[in-house]
Amino acid sequence: MRVFVTGATGFIGSAIAAELLSAGHQVVGLARSDESAASLAAAGAQAHRGALEDPGSLRSGAAASDGVIHTAFNNISATTNFAEAAHADRRAIETFGEALAGSDRPLVVTSGTGLRAPGRVATEQDAPDPGSPAALRIPSEEAALSFAARGVRVSVVRLPPTVHGDGDHGFVPALIGIARATGVSAYPGDGSNRWAAVHRLDAAHLFRLALEAASPGARLHGVGEEGVPVRDIAEVIGRHLELPVTGISRERADAHFSWLAPFITLDLPALSTLTQQQLGWHPVQPALIPDLDKGDYFDGQGQR
């Protein structure tokens, strides 16, 4: 298949591109810069110049493909305008859906297990909860699934808060950076709240399976571990950085964790039982704590 991939040079998207190429598919990646185009070429993929803010480039890329995988999203950080990023994501999904309508071609979009209210184990059968921490992404998921009734073999891959592996620049590296800056590896409260997790290579494999075989309207969970206590994450960080490990009260969490506070305090376990049954997907890569214990995360300044 000729597969159009957004975010193909990113942390997850680059792993998806490699997974697709190794399975014999052609990959065409959305490239907004010469640097991105060169990176795609080096990986064995083709470049399609454009941007998420340019619907014409998205339409033409989708129209010339046998399927689309959409992973591009503005990374969550201290500078992210999450509302704007979520709105741009929904517009891109609607553009892809309109381009593929009536074709029975696959469209795989990215969402999150955080669309479920915290404190309950999220499953594939759960509809998004307006009270969830990632509620601004609900319109994207709903827009995507609406195209199942319009002749698009659309599926949604929900990823957990922690997608780890080489090149990670998400929440865990941010925690490492905070620990370096403050001299303590901290966790909120007693640290028993959990984050579901998955290795980026396992996630990439799931995206390929979804492209090839997911049923229209499928909600899939790319979850390798149901829930890793954030205290366990803090303990690994403290051990590798030789820093004290301690709990931080919820009242002090905002000051200590900064922009990460709303996420580090959440309890977000999730399961992927139905996904594994439906697609034969079985995570085989290292779990989060063993991956951290390899030590690669601690080279540099908390970013890899």
**Whole-angstrom Cα distance, residue 180 to residue 210?**
39
Q: Does pTM surpass 0.85?
A: yes
pLDDT band at 280 (very low <50, low <70, confident <90, very high): very high
**Whole-angstrom Cα distance, residue 162 to residue 251?**
24
The total number of residues written for the chain in this structure: 304
Report helix angle 34-43 to 11-22, nearest 10.
30
pLDDT band at 300 (very low <50, low <70, confident <90, very high): low
pLDDT band at 78 (very low <50, low <70, confident <90, very high): low
CATH topology of domain 164-196+226-271+284-298: UDP-galactose 4-epimerase; domain 1 (3.90.25)
Topology alike, domains 2-163+198-223 and 164-196+226-271+284-298:
no
Residue 301's pLDDT is what? 42
pLDDT tens track for 175-198: 999 999 999 999 999 999 999 999
pLDDT band at 79 (very low <50, low <70, confident <90, very high): low
**Whole-angstrom Cα distance, residue 98 to residue 225?**
35
Residue 303's pLDDT is what? 40
pLDDT tens track for 206-227: 999 999 999 999 999 999 999 9
**What sign results for the dihedral spanned by CA atoms 288, 289, 291, 295?**
positive
pLDDT tens track for 20-67: 999 999 999 999 999 999 999 999 999 999 999 999 999 999 999 999
Query: Was domain 2-163+198-223 assigned CATH 1.20.1050.10?
Result: no
Please calculate the CA angle 23-65-24 and round it to the nearest 5 degrees: 10
Residue 80's pLDDT is what? 58
Residue 102's pLDDT is what? 97
**Whole-angstrom Cα distance, residue 253 to residue 77?**
17
Residue 130's pLDDT is what? 86
Look up tokens 């065409």; give the residue. 28
**Whole-angstrom Cα distance, residue 285 to residue 297?**
16
Amino acid making up residue 246: T
Residue 74's pLDDT is what? 63
Residue 304's pLDDT is what? 38
* 152: Cβ contacts below 8 Å, ≥ 6 apart: 97, 100, 101, 102, 103, 104, 105, 106, 107, 216
Q: Is the per-residue pLDDT at 14 higher than 50?
A: yes
Q: Taking the domains of the chain in order of start, what are their residue ranges?
A: 2-163+198-223, 164-196+226-271+284-298
Residue 116's pLDDT is what? 80
pLDDT tens track for 102-140: 999 999 999 999 888 788 899 999 988 888 877 888 999
Residue 37's pLDDT is what? 96
Q: Considering only residues 244 and 263, tell me which one the structure prediction assigns the higher pLDDT.
A: 244
pLDDT tens track for 220-246: 999 999 999 999 999 999 999 999 999
Residue 302's pLDDT is what? 38
The b/e string for 110-124 (b: 16+ C-beta within 10 A; e otherwise) is bbbbbbbbbeebbbb
